[in-house]
Amino acid sequence: MNSPPNHPWPTSKIAPFLDYLITECGLAPNTIAAYKRDLTRWGQFCRQTQITDPNKLTPPLLQKYAIFLSQQKLATPTIARHLVSLKMFLRYHLLVGLTQHDVCSVMETPKTWQRLPSVLSEKRTVELIEAVDPENPLRLRNRALLELLYATGLRASEAANLHLRDLNSQIGYIRCLGKGQKERVIPIHKTALKVLQEYLEVLRPQLVKEVTCTNLFLSRTGRALNRIEIWRIVKKAARTAGIAGRVTPHTLRHCFGSHLLQGGADLRVLQEMLGHADVTTTQIYTHVDQKHLRQVHKKYHPRA
């Protein structure tokens, strides 16, 4: 990922920074791609304002960049992400000795509203999982995938990267690599295991074209199922089930977290199963649970 020679700053330093994120920080490919997109816009701003020396950056210039982002009609969370990417980029400069001071220490990112995740009821979640076309030759795979997403709270990318060796059907757990290549082990209930075993015994041998492909979920052509295809499977199941609104694999992840918490699961245990680095990320499901409690109170209290 080396940069072509004679490129001005900051273009000349973006590729080494991305290499650092891959080799030292172990960030996921999707995260690396997001950093690259964000810094490409920073490079555009630097060309327009003729900034060529990171040591001459000042807080007013960074504030001007924030205004530049808002003029691009970007949403507040997107602007916040761009500024975080820039902070990481400039702190990398400080780390490797390209700058002498941390100009980002006084830069604030815009505050964003904390959105509650979209969660289906337990009944609707089951309806989504069971909404698999019986005439679809890939129905066993699709059902196994939906069951696993709800049973474990995996992200779409994590499910796409699962291999046969990651599933222990005898003990009943799945092993996955999450963000930052952090490994976690998640139990799987018997219902999901039964559907997974049927897929593995009946359909997967028909799909596999090369024995070297060890991915758990395969496409029609025998290659590994990717996260975009997983999104499509979930969205099609939602349409079949008649579920309105935006339903994605992350919706099933939210259902997993919210339903476990409603059932009395410990927050720290849920944090570990979801692979959250900080428990405050997991705590959003307590807000969802409180919303559920308010709905129950309003529905059943005689004076509500």
Q: Please give the positions annotated as active site.
A: 155, 179, 250, 253, 276, 285
Q: Tell me the residue length of the chain.
A: 304
The span from the CA of 186 to the CA of 274, in Å, is 9
Q: Look at the block and give the residue holding tokens 């290659």.
A: 223
Tokens of 146: 């939906």
Task: Report the 10 Å Cβ neighbour count for 241.
Answer: 18
Closest CA to 196 of 159, 147, 144: 144
The span from the CA of 140 to the CA of 230, in Å, is 14
List the Cα angle 249/251/256 in 5-degree steps.
100
DSSP letter string over 64-125? HHHHHHHHTT--HHHHHHHHHHHHHHHHHHHHTTS-SS-GGGGPPPPP---PPPP---HHHH
